[in-house]
A and B are shown apart, each in its own frame.
Chain A
Amino acid sequence: MIPVLSVKDLTVQFALGPRQVIAVNGLSFDLGPGECLGVVGESGSGKSQSFLAMLGLLARNGSAAGSVRFKGKEILNAPKAQLQRLRGERISMMFQDALSGLTPNLRIGRQLEEVLMVHRGLSRARARQRALNMLEIVKIPEPEQRYNAYPFELSGGMRQRVMIALALLCKPDVLICDEPTTALDVTVQAQVLKLLDDTRRHTDTAIILITHDLGVVAGLCDRVLIMYAGRAVETGSVEDIFYQAAHPYTRGLLRSVPRLDADPEQPLPAISGHPPILENLPAGCAFAGRCDRYIQRCAAGVPELRQVAASHGVACLRAEAAP
């Protein structure tokens, strides 16, 4: 089975003044059709920039190197026209905060229509029909009325659904969701996740879910990729990660999720130390300073991603065996 998306050694840099800061360092993974991959990491781990780079949406001072193959064809740093054809049509990306993500002075309907008119050459009337249909699919009540509304007139949850609708209009092969639930409250989160889940089941769309919230990942994803300081530190199936986490960072993340059955007297476990400063990364493992399993050798060089089981890879010299 050809992976829908095949990423090898993706590196993204930003020119800050005289220096280059590396935001993503040698990222590699494959995504199969209909698969759901969760990409987990803190802010600054490079998770969003990786995908912005793939679509050619990096900021002016950013540059990308490596290989990204979409259905076998190389798309990294492809010519603008080619990328514009892919965006929104074969590979869609939706962002968190739909209030700032939707053009404030254009009606929702217009913003939906133009995707279909640009990519499928539909007339306005036909585009409107399809768009209304999509609004129903994403379960927006009274779609005709909402169609003529401006983004500020909708609630947060509805706006996020509009973003999803925008992304799914052309039935893309890959849907990248950048923190789709972060700006929403819990009940709305659940609805949005259910929507994504339904999409997954009914279409062949592969979903990449970028988030820092492990709970979101647990419910929806098949596989998980954990990033830290621009590198993948652990990859595996959802079961691998949640039941057999091997990297100290992953374990730290899992431990720090508050539990209902935890002892209220005990302090919340947290990962000690501070997030990495990308401009000033140490020579060895970037997590070394916060790691409770650190040894001398960790500072010597960056650990490679090794397979510890069929689907499970870890970049750590002292990866834990199964608990």
Chain B
Amino acid sequence: MLIYIAQRLLVAIPTLLIIVMASFFLMHGAPGGPFDGDAQLEPEVLENIRAAYDLDKPVPLQFWLYLKGLLRGDFGPSIVYKDFNVTELIAVGLPVSLKLGLSAMLLAVVLGGLGGIIAALRQNGWVDYTIMAVAMTGIALPSFVIAPLLALVFGLYLSLLPVAGWNDGAVANMVLPVIALALPQVAIIARLMRGGMLEVLGSNFVRTARAKGLSEAQVVSRHVLKTAATPLISYLGPALAGVMTGSVVIEQIFNLPGMGRYFVQGALNRDYPVVMGIVVVYATTIILLNLLTDLAYGVLDPRVRRGYR
């Protein structure tokens, strides 16, 4: 098991490095810079500003300096928000985005998982069709369509929930954003779970379990669930990626002070440090989650643990 974990770490660290490198060199290798749009500056002033941000040094050196800064937790200064460090911006936005994202993931897994299990057990019945129809909607409608519609219905017409603002994470303010963010993932997870269940329900070992005289509930809970959940576990990484990209839009629509807002602004303004910093944070989160899911695999499937080929 330890070897397994070590292997995973060995892959994770270079991956992170590559992502940081790729983002960095992309941003720096591009034509144009962050100061192009500004009013015409005198060449000396421009030089000074560039020196202050280390932009006059060769790119590989800049990268090295950046890495060193990262290890200290310093993401560098923002080019656009001149009074702020990127680290400070992230510190403001991260808790919000984290709360939003994790709540959405939890909702997606629980709702999607349950939905998929029930749909599989009542295969081809009306329950199954209903759940799958709802799932289809979640998959087909992007979150930036669902979110305004939800806001319209529940916020404006029914006046049940607030449509904007974070209010320090008050529950009422979180309901609509979390649901809008989770819905597409609920749909995909429900489908995956249902598929996994159906596949396992037809296997030989389930037939053996039934032939032993176990009740259907016992068969499902002891013999089916763990195996059927495997595709779900594999999907958690991409699910988180989906939640992250969705959160950028959701934060915009509901006016939430998360990292997504700074990310988009940074992209529009070519504020390299901000964009880079946020990408690093997002990527680290995902890689961490992937590590956790890999570990979960190890726990769930003994063949993985014992290095079965």
Contact = CB atoms under 8 A, between A and B. Distances in A.
B81 interface: no
A163 B209 CA distance: 11
B40 interface: no
A106 B222 contact: yes
Interface string A104-137: 1110000000110011000000000000000000
B207 interface: yes
Contacts of B218: 114, 118
Contacts of A226: none
Interface in B177-234: 203-205, 207-216, 218, 222-223, 226-227
A92 to B, nearest CB: 7
Given A105-B227, A114-B222, A152-B308, A100 B205 contact: yes
B204 A87 contact: no
A115 B213 contact: yes
Nearest to B200: A103
A57 interface: yes
Interface string B265-309: 000000000000000000000000000000000001111001010
Contacts of B223: 103, 106
Interface in A85-110: 85-89, 92-95, 97, 100-106
A155 B207 CA distance: 21
A97 B300 CA distance: 23
Nearest to B211: A93
A87 B210 contact: yes
Residue among A93, A97, A100, A104 with most chain B CB within 10 A:
A104
B204 A166 contact: no
B213 A84 contact: yes
Interface residues of B, number: 25
Nearest to B215: A84
Contact of A166 (B208, B215, B216, B306): B208
Nearest to A107: B302
Given A87-B212, A87-B213, A115-B213, A57 B207 contact: yes
A95 B207 contact: yes
Given A114-B222, A152-B303, A104 B210 contact: no
Residue among B203, B205, B218, B302 with most chain A CB within 10 A:
B205
Given A118-B218, A150-B303, A102 B212 contact: no
Nearest to B230: A105
Contacts of A87: 210-213
A119 B300 CA distance: 27
A304 interface: no
A64 interface: no
Nearest to B300: A105
B213 A104 contact: no
Contact of A88 (B203, B212, B303): B212
A86 B214 CA distance: 10
Given A95-B208, A104-B227, 20 more contacts: A57-B210, A57-B211, A87-B210, A87-B211, A87-B212, A87-B213, A88-B211, A88-B214, A101-B204, A101-B207, A103-B209, A104-B302, A104-B303, A105-B301, A114-B214, A114-B222, A118-B213, A118-B215, A119-B213, A150-B306
Interface of B: 123, 203-205, 207-216, 218, 222-223, 226-227, 300-303, 306, 308
5 contacts: A60-B123, A103-B205, A103-B208, A115-B213, A152-B308
In the A-B complex, the 6 residue pairs with the smallest Cβ-Cβ separation, listed nearest first, are A88-B213, A87-B213, A88-B212, A100-B204, A103-B205, A93-B211
